[in-house]
Amino acid sequence: MRFSLPRQAPVLLLTLAALVLAACSGGDDTSSDGGGDMAALQARLDTAQQAIFDAPALDISLATTELPPGVNGLLSASGRGYQGASVDEAAFTGEVNVTAAGTSVEAEVVAVDGTVYAKTGLTPVFLTLDPATLGAPNPSTLLGAEGEGLATILTETQKLADGGESREGRDVLTTITGTIPGAIVAEFLPTADADSSFPVTYRLTEDDTLADAEITGPFYPGGADVTYTVQLTPNDDDSEITKP
């Protein structure tokens, strides 16, 4: 006895084979595209970081709107600085605002040769200061040595994702989100929880310049999460910063 396949069988078999091949190749494409997207985002962050490393000097800002009650720490630091061959050769001059014992204290600050000098409205001269006693970083560590400093977060960020575009004035900014390991954050703010992950949101201009970054997390023991806004803007003014 001879059996014959229905006329529709070849079509059904071909359709089934196509579906199987599509499923296999579709899975590969998804993995490839996802990896490609992440690589493209990282490439943009790499470009932004290199521009910071190549700059003669930087305008630097690190600020939060408020700190948790009872916390001694950094409210803001802003000024000009430059990197060096080592952290001790990095320098900073600017304004720093900290909270200590429930009181906000503003000071002129110069960080040079590994030492921090501060002058507040209560003192007529600059005095040496250990920022750690106020839960604040040495501004020189934010700048770091050549190829180091706060800008290293741009290549240490994990789980990158495209957050879309937004317009700010004439600028079109691309948002990139991710998380930074706490151990990296603690290099700049030693009070940060080194075992936690810190969500971060970067905004880049069309030419891959860093507009700003927002980092959120447990920066201070026993306190609620804090969000710091970071700006690192290349500056051509690399004039010498000296001990006051």
| pLDDT tens readout for residues 74-104 | 999 999 999 887 778 889 999 999 988 788 8
* H or E stretch at 204: strand 197-204
Helix or strand or coil: residue 160?
strand
DSSP secondary structure, 72-99, as one string? -EEEEEEEEEE-BSSGGG-EEEEEEEEE
Provide the residue type at 117 as one letter.
Answer: Y
- Residue 39 clears pLDDT 90, i.e. is over it: yes
Q: Check if the beta carbon of residue 74 is closer than 8 Å to that of residue 215.
A: no
Pairwise CA distance, residues 20 & 150, whole Å:
49
CB atoms within 10 A of CB 115: 14
| pLDDT tens readout for residues 42-75 | 999 999 999 999 999 999 999 999 999 988 889 9
User: DSSP state, 133?
Assistant: G
Predicted local distance difference test score (pLDDT) of residue 123: 81
CB atoms within 10 A of CB 183: 13
Predicted local distance difference test score (pLDDT) of residue 36: 58
Task: Give the mean model confidence (pLDDT) for residues 194-207.
Answer: 97
All domains of the chain in start order, with CATH: 49-235 (2.50.20.20)
Q: Check if the beta carbon of residue 92 is closer than 8 Å to that of residue 143.
A: yes
Task: Kindly report the average pLDDT of the chain as a whole number.
Answer: 83
Pairwise CA distance, residues 47 & 165, whole Å:
18
Confidence class for position 35, pLDDT limits 50, 70, 90: low
Pairwise CA distance, residues 28 & 83, whole Å:
44
What's this model's pTM, rounded to 2 decimal places? Answer: 0.82
